[in-house]
Chains A and B, each alone.
Chain A
Amino acid sequence: MGLIRSHVLVCAGTGCVSSGCKMMQEAMQQALERHGLSSEIKVVETGCFGFCKEGPIVMVYPEGTFYCQVKPEDVEELVSEHLLKGRIVERLLYKEPVSERAISLFNDIGFYQKQQRVALRNCGKINPESIEEYIARDGYQALAKAVTQMTPTQVIEMVSESGLRGRGGGGFPAGRKWEFARVAQGDIKYVVCNADEGDPGAFMDRSILEGDPHSVVEAMAIAGYAIGAKQGYVYVRAEYPIAVERLSIAIKQARELGLLGKNIFGSGFDFDLGIRLGAGAFVCGEETALLTSIEGHRGTPRPRPPYPAVKGLWGKPTLINNVETFANIPVIILHGPAKFKSIGTDTSPGTKVFALAGNINNTGLVEVPMGTTLREIVYDIGGGIPGGKAFKACQTGGPSGGCLPAELLDTPVDYDSLTAAGSMMGSGGLIVMDEDNCMVDVARFFLEFTQDESCGKCVPCREGTKRMLEILERITNGEGVAGDIELLEELAEVISRTSLCGLGQTAPNPVLATLKFFRDEYEAHIYEKRCPAGVCQALLSYAIVAEKCKGCGLCKKVCPVDAISGDLRQPHTIDKDKCIKCGACVAKCPFKAISR
């Protein structure tokens, strides 16, 4: 094997695969061969870089040049200019949205400047299908340290001392959960990783499993040692095929090197892992439902207590943590709790990964120290709202969470501050909404989701969410009546107080949060029969603004029901009786002359 002078890192996360990175990578290999460079330049497929919007992403080391939106036809130039002659291809660099300045180094890009990568430390840096690369970045050292130099109690003390809280959304102290599972009586115990990331608009766990699966494997083995379990399961969504594949490879490689299996590091500790696939049920993200599903049944939750730490999988004591929680563990064990606690806030140490999406310029995956404000995430990292539109709300916590308005943009992101502000941390979905999003419609969207995903076991959730959805549908259809808001509030209280599991208990949150901050939008729908954001079709009335209309006739051509009439170069008009409110004319009009 010759010496490698350059590494070309190609992101192979789901975002970039969807953007066509595979074809680009093949073109890259061919171009390197054509130029006789394949022995000195190595192409590495990595996990997610986080900047999904700019994909496919390519990074050239040792320079650290960051190229974005690289297409197969760009590859020849990239190889012949940069890799052969050492000249940076400026047109493929990231350009700052405002100044248009091209930036070549990864760390100089605004999107990355305020980020600090702990859980995502290896994502985008190593080939996730190579255990050697993981080991080269201190992988499995934490496991070695734990099983050869520490007692289980010491491991748990370290996790407790770090102050790590569950990243799945609940924020329960991880160390306490581990301690409960350790002291629970039983000869057989299990470690389970919750990778059933069902929150729509969240993809943190998927990116970790795709980009750094060994960190989860290692952490689960450490957990097994700490609580006295010999077997672990990763419950992962079937909708994440790449994550499932890379995790399977990671487990196989770890077994081959003796890092899973019998007598790990000669310590006498045995541990192995299995994968169980979810099958598209959101409720299975709830821990007791997840365990029921691993057992092969309909994934319905069971009452707690007993908690899984006492009576979990197949009735045995079970430790269950989320992917991101596990991904933090090797760092804590290896570098100590003090270093971990130096990041973040007193009550929420460490970092949090967010999936930044919705109406924002830089969509992607970001990891920030706890305590970073929403404003920094939305504007400094996210680059603000596209098209010069106004920010309306930030949705966190998915179907269990809430929306925070512009006035609360300076809220620091940590478990307690977000809850106090009227939302919640959740698993890390962060969806930005702009002036064109109707908050009543957003609440309806989430209720439609939870109502559909309710498992049907308990009445408040099964029936209550349906009634709430009916009311919201009525309001968005322009049939809202006085008293609807109060009825929603009453139902919300009953559902959240009497439902069996977290799904039902939190299902009303999107409605309560939007009512708290955007009550005027509800009132406009009910009393004025008006949708201020122009989303709810039944409440719209399309009209052409005569002063703006140039009479080009495009709207007339696109209208499916011939509701638009007018002579060329004369202002057109819409026949309201014929109009079906499809919105095709609004999308087509180059002069924004159609109001709704």
Chain B
Amino acid sequence: MDEKKCAGCSSNTTTDPRYQELAQVIEQYRDMEGALIMVLHRAQEIFGYLPEDVQKIVAKELDLPLSEVYGVTTFYSYFSLKPRGKYRIAVCLGTACYVRGAAELVSAIEKELGIKVNDTTEDARFTLEVSRCIGACGLAPVMTINDDVYGRLTPDKIPEILAKYE
């Protein structure tokens, strides 16, 4: 099995420590009014995305219809229903970045990685996303790779930056 690709989707919910962590999170928020979004945030931190079985657990534990949980996860762009690569590239398409050529960065990355926006590379290394303003407009155009921020970018800097992420 290709370990890089496997997201552990069929893993046993009783032994996988991530599910225990999820149970703790739900316990912590159970009595809070309107807890769903906060629980989903934490669940996404734990799993990297929100797989169907996680949404089912959250729905059951918070006593909500699955349809409502699914409605929320699909409404907010911050939540992802698909597994994402090890490194998440997010090119800011806020106004300041846009007028400074962010669209050209997206094309350069698409070309470099051979994927389109919202896709993940074959080797599960990179996921390319576009984001709303991250508020680093002073450095426009910017992109983030996981928690690293790159500013004052030009398309020719892209290959060198991506090469840093193994």
Contacts and interface: CB of A to CB of B under 8 A. Distances in A.
Given A281-B75, A281-B77, A201 B138 contact: no
B137 A295 contact: no
A129 interface: no
B41 A197 contact: no
A55 B151 CA distance: 11
Interface in A409-447: 429, 431, 433, 437, 442, 445-446
A279 B77 contact: yes
Given A298-B72, A357-B95, A437-B99, A280 B136 contact: no
Contact of B40 (A19, A55, A203, A279): A279
Contacts of B151: 18-19
B34 interface: yes
B78 interface: yes
A295 B34 contact: yes
A522 to B, nearest CB: 18
Interface string B31-68: 00111111011000000000000000000000000001
B76 A197 contact: no
A357 B142 CA distance: 13
Interface stretch (B1-9, B10-18, B112-120, B126-134): B126-134
B96 interface: yes
B26 interface: no
Interface size class of A (residues with CB under 8 A): 35 or more
A19 B33 CA distance: 39
A521 interface: no
Contact of B72 (A278, A296, A395): A296
A355 interface: yes
A359 B36 contact: no
A238 B78 contact: yes
A364 B138 contact: yes
A363 B140 contact: yes
B55 to A, nearest CB: 14
Interface in A264-322: 276-282, 293-299, 314
A15 B136 contact: yes
A280 B76 contact: yes
A142 B140 CA distance: 38
B96 A358 contact: yes
A47 to B, nearest CB: 13
A296 B96 CA distance: 31
Given A279-B78, A358-B100, A18 B133 contact: no
A279 B37 contact: yes
B135 A14 contact: yes
Given A18-B151, A279-B79, A431-B99, A357 B37 contact: no
Contacts of A278: 76, 78
A395 B36 contact: no
A200 B132 contact: yes
A544 B31 CA distance: 69
A358 B102 CA distance: 12
Given A295-B34, A296-B35, A197 B99 contact: no
A178 interface: no
A465 B90 CA distance: 25
B33 A357 contact: no
Interface residues of B, number: 41
A280 B99 contact: no
A53 interface: yes
A293 B37 contact: yes
A514 to B, nearest CB: 13
A277 B100 contact: no
Interface in A54-69: 55
B80 to A, nearest CB: 10
B94 interface: yes
B37 A203 contact: no
B149 interface: yes
Contact of A277 (B41, B77, B132, B150): B41
A240 B93 CA distance: 16
B139 interface: yes
A445 B132 CA distance: 12
Nearest to B34: A296
Given A18-B151, A200-B94, A280 B36 contact: no
Task: Pick the most buried of B132, B140, B149: most chain A CB atoms within 10 A of its CB.
Answer: B132
Interface in A494-542: none
Contacts of A553: none
A359 B98 CA distance: 10
A583 interface: yes
Nearest to A365: B138
Nearest to B72: A298
Contact of B71 (A298, A355, A357): A298
A429 B156 CA distance: 29
Nearest to A200: B94
A279 B96 contact: no
Contacts of A200: 93-96, 98, 132-133
B104 interface: yes
B132 A239 contact: yes
B99 A18 contact: no
A229 interface: no
A52 B139 contact: yes
Contacts of B93: 200
B37 A201 contact: no
Interface of A: 14-15, 17-19, 52-53, 55, 197-203, 206-207, 238-240, 276-282, 293-299, 314, 355, 357-359, 363-364, 395, 398, 429, 431, 433, 437, 442, 445-446, 455, 582-583, 587
Closest 5 A-B residue pairs measured CB to CB? A52-B138, A296-B34, A279-B76, A203-B135, A357-B96
20 contacts: A14-B136, A18-B142, A200-B93, A200-B94, A201-B133, A201-B137, A238-B78, A278-B76, A280-B79, A297-B36, A297-B72, A299-B76, A358-B100, A359-B99, A363-B137, A363-B140, A398-B95, A431-B95, A437-B99, A455-B75
Given A198-B132, A281-B75, A587-B155, 9 more contacts: A276-B34, A277-B38, A279-B79, A280-B76, A280-B132, A357-B138, A358-B96, A358-B137, A398-B95
